[in-house]
Amino acid sequence: MPDPLPRIALPIGDPAGIGPEIVLKALGNADLRQLCEPVVVGSPADLRLHAIACSIDVHIESDRVVCADFPPVTLVAVTDDDDGNRQFGRVDARCGSACVGFARQAVELARAGNVAAVVAGPHTEESVNLAGISFDGYPGLVADLTETDHEHVFLMLLSSVFRIVNTTLHLPLADAITRLDAALIGRAIAAADAALRQMGIPVPRIGVCGLNPHAGENGLFGTEDDEIVRPAVDAARALGLDVTGPAGADALLAKRAHDVYVALYHDQGHIPIKVTTPHASSAITIGTPILFGSVAHGSAHDIAGQGRASEAALVDAVSRLAAQIGVLKT
């Protein structure tokens, strides 16, 4: 008999965004059903709201979602006083709190061994922070929930074209530059190397992007690359890692000669992914004891509740996590 499919939790993300819609659509996607046994984590009332608004053919009960052409799916209900009364496309503290609650429950399932991985719907940072929760993305939240040192947790973006690890994430650019030092960049390089080895690449080729144009060009355009980036690369090489850089990000990424790239700030890592594969990319939190991924796009408030969102990125993220589960089993 074939091995059973891995159980993967799907927390629905921001209930005012497209997260519930893409999760429900994914349940009716044949590719996803061949990859995993999905477990939905979220509010039944919020899911009903999106199913009706988006004309998705499902029946939502208190503990399961019944689909037209596939077996029912387990629903782990997480409720609050406002669920089912959300306004689509609205930045709302209650939605931010709910989003974190869904993710927290999914992480608890993973830590207890009830699911093999988590793939979360998109969040809205502003809504979460309005709820009084310090939040700069899923990696920090997962670090907190798994009691992992934030200094060793990073976001990796994946697509059919690139794998990119972000050294810093949701920070003002000036703050990101201030935060960068050789130790932090070295930890990002080490995390990238370890993650790709887990994915089955025995000696990952790592390219490190420069901070300044042309990686500073020998100090002509800034000294940070020589002062903080190059020492991190040299230290990683001394440990036996296959690392090159720093190099100008434009030239480095254009060559596509590496297995993974280390970007130094948000847009340096996100733009190549969004430009080349805007609707088929995923994000994985690396450096924590659980497998946690998410879509690499936002909650798309502008089209929430309209039935226009695609589940492709969610299915892609599930595919990548399911593949990693397979590697870890071998």
DSSP assignment of 41-96 equals EE-HHHHHHHHHHTT--EEE-SSEEEESSS--EEEEE---TTTT-PPTT---HHHH
* Nearest in space to 163 (alpha carbons), one of 134, 122, 129, 193: 193
The pLDDT score that the predictor gives to residue 207 is 98
> Does the pTM exceed 0.75?
yes
Pairwise CA distance, residues 177 & 227, whole Å:
13
Shared domain check, 146 and 45: yes
Residue 168 has pLDDT above 90, yes or no: yes
Residue where a domain stops, chosen among 259, 276, 293: 276
Instruction: Please report which confidence band the pLDDT of residue 326 belongs to, taking 50, 70 and 90 as the band edges.
Output: low
Q: Please give the C-alpha separations between residue 131 and each of 19, 40, 98, in angstroms, as whole numbers.
A: 19, 23, 9
Shared domain check, 64 and 40: yes
**192-220 pLDDT, tens digit each:** 999 898 888 999 999 999 999 999 999 99
What six digits make up the tokens of 230?
């190059």
Residue type, 135: F
**247-256 pLDDT, tens digit each:** 999 999 999 9
Shared domain check, 310 and 227: no
Structural domain boundaries enclosing 282? 1-153+278-330
The pLDDT score that the predictor gives to residue 330 is 45
Instruction: Domain count for the chain, please give it.
Output: 2
Shared domain check, 285 and 264: no
Bridge partners of 59? 66
Shared domain check, 203 and 303: no
**6-62 pLDDT, tens digit each:** 999 999 999 999 999 999 999 999 999 999 999 999 999 999 999 999 999 999 999
What six digits make up the tokens of 218?
């020998």
Shared domain check, 308 and 246: no
Residue type, 283: A
Shared domain check, 111 and 206: no
Which CATH number characterizes residue 16's domain? 3.40.718.10
Shared domain check, 107 and 185: no
